[in-house]
């Protein structure tokens, strides 16, 4: 891995004097230095992107596809480098890091396909004598400059879900990656710089939150897409007239019915994946597990045993399942939430003591409904289990949340599956699996405090374009 990374301003690398240190999240040692953009650089990026609007809109769809296909090839060629970079800057176990690289490639491949499918419609306007002879057609056109702000937990794929549809839709963009994990985004920019995108089409700028305020407030920007915490609502309030899409997390729940529709061993395997994959640092990580009383004790025993066996350690080790969380401060917060729950009467079934930013996988029961572990998003390797007697009551428990991103339901009953789809106040219901399941072409987003709008390439492209009507009087 390189030791120094430039930022990218209007398609070109810039090695600035002010540098950001990126740490190896496992060792705590400096892994790389990154050029750090200032307010002037952000201003220049906005000006360049604004000038590039017409060129990007006129950039032919087949050429957009060629750019995205080039990215697919280059990311595939550099897959192991990208995975190791993720492992170092995010502390993501190497197997998980390789999985994210696969999703990066998939996301750009989907965008390449969708870039030539941005259609419209023909309208029948002859609805009365007054409108006879009129014809209507609608096409979708790029909204203009987009600004993107991404978090640390998926440094490749969450960037891809903004950048790839922007290129496919013909929108210039400025991206601010998370300061903790900027390297993956800068490698993506390095590959984009190899293409024939119009000058000013993209900038990737690690910068301070203060300097990034221009990406929220500048009126030349047509769309803001933010993935992160609840501060997103404040950004929306400051964004003025521009479109805003937000993905702000959740405290995802999973219901295990009396007849789960699968073996308990399979259910436990999926719950463990959903709750503890990449140390629970996912917006759709399983946090709340509701199990029917008829099978609660059996599932509890199996789940406790499985969680207790999870291997924690160096993320470069192929056998590691639990790596470090992003920082010691994050680990201290997770530890405090567990302590608060236990003080309120919760019992820890599995887990251990924190060591720096290494947080063992924890499983609890009897968690008080008024504590932060129940109400908030823990964003760590923690889940709790709770029994229920009535399926409708379990649905109500899932809905008793300020969040609503995705929910999982293990059930062998079709009527229960459909009832969950009808009643759960979430953006997506996953039947037969955990809420942590995501395919990169599906609509992804939530309701309530979980956000606004949807990602998934085609759905993001709809946000990044707007309909334009043509009426012809024949």
Catalytic site positions? 247, 283
- Strand ranges across the sheet with 465-473: 121-124, 134-142, 465-473
Can you give the C-alpha Rg of the chain in angstroms? 23
CA torsion angle 443 446 447 449 (round to 10): -160
Tell me the β-bridge partners of 358.
355
Which residues touch 434 (CB under 8 Å, ≥6 apart)? 252, 254, 270, 271, 273, 274, 275, 286, 408
Burial of residue 209 (number of CB atoms within 10 Å: 0-12, 13-18, 19+): exposed
The answer to whether residues 447 and 425 touch, using CB atoms and an 8 Å cutoff, is yes
Burial of residue 348 (number of CB atoms within 10 Å: 0-12, 13-18, 19+): middle
The answer to whether residues 353 and 226 touch, using CB atoms and an 8 Å cutoff, is no
Q: Which of 411, 95, 433, 99 is nearest to 270 (CA)?
A: 433
d(CA 147, CA 227): 12
H helix intervals, 115-208: 157-169, 183-192
d(CA 29, CA 324): 14
Angle at the Cα of 145 from the Cα atoms of 143 and 148, rounded to 5 degrees? 110
- Strand ranges across the sheet with 243-247: 12-14, 7-9, 202-204, 173-176, 145-149, 221-227, 243-247, 451-452
The answer to whether residues 293 and 256 touch, using CB atoms and an 8 Å cutoff, is no
**SS3 state of residue 5:** strand
Structure-token pair, residue 10: 């209007």
**SS3 state of residue 362:** strand
Structure-token pair, residue 190: 């390095």
**SS3 state of residue 134:** strand
């Amino acid at each position: 891995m390189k030791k120094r990374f430039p930022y990218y301003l209007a398609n070109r690398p810039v090695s600035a004097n002010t540098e950001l240190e990126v740490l190896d999240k496992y060792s705590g040692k400096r892994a790389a230095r990154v050029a750090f953009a200032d307010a002037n650089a952000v201003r220049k990026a906005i000006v360049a992107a604004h000038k590039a609007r017409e060129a990007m809109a006129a950039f032919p769809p087949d050429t957009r596809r060629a750019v995205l296909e080039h990215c697919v090839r280059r990311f595939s060629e550099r897959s192991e480098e990208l995975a190791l970079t993720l492992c170092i800057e995010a502390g993501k176990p190497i197997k998980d890091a390789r999985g994210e690289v696969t999703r990066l490639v998939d996301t750009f491949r989907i965008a390449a396909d969708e870039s030539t499918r941005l259609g419209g419609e023909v309208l029948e306007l002859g609805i009365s004598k007054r409108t006879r002879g009129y014809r209507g057609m609608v096409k979708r056109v790029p909204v203009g400059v987009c600004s993107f702000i991404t978090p640390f937990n998926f440094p490749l794929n969450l960037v891809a879900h903004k950048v790839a549809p922007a290129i496919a839709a013909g929108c210039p963009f400025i991206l601010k990656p998370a300061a903790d994990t900027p390297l993956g985004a800068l490698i993506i920019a390095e590959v984009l710089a190899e293409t024939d995108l119009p000058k000013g089409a993209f900038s990737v700028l690690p910068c301070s939150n203060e300097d990034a305020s221009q990406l929220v407030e500048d009126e030349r920007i047509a769309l803001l897409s933010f993935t992160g915490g609840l501060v997103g609502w404040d950004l929306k309030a400051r964004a003025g007239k521009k479109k805003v899409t937000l993905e702000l997390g959740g405290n995802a729940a999973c219901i295990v019915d009396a007849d789960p529709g699968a073996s308990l061993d399979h259910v436990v395997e999926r719950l463990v994946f959903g709750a503890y994959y990449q140390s629970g640092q996912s917006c759709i990580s399983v946090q709340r597990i509701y199990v029917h009383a008829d099978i609660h004790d059996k599932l509890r025993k199996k789940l406790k045993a499985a969680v207790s066996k999870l291997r924690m350690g160096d993320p470069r080790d192929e056998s590691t399942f639990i790596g470090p969380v992003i920082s010691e401060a994050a680990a201290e917060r997770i530890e405090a939430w567990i302590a608060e729950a236990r003080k309120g009467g919760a019992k820890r079934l599995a887990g251990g003591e924190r060591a720096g930013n290494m947080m063992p996988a924890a499983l609890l029961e009897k968690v008080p409904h008024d504590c932060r572990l129940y109400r908030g998003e823990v964003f760590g390797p923690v889940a709790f289990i709770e029994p229920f007697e009535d399926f409708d009551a379990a649905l109500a428990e899932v809905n008793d949340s300020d969040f609503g991103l995705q929910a999982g339901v293990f059930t062998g009953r079709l009527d229960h599956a459909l009832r969950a789809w009808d009643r759960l106040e979430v953006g997506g219901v996953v039947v037969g699996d955990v809420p942590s399941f995501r395919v990169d072409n599906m609509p992804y987003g939530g309701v309530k405090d979980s956000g606004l709008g949807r990602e998934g390439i085609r759905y993001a492209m709809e946000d990044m374009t707007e309909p334009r009507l043509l009426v012809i009087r024949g």
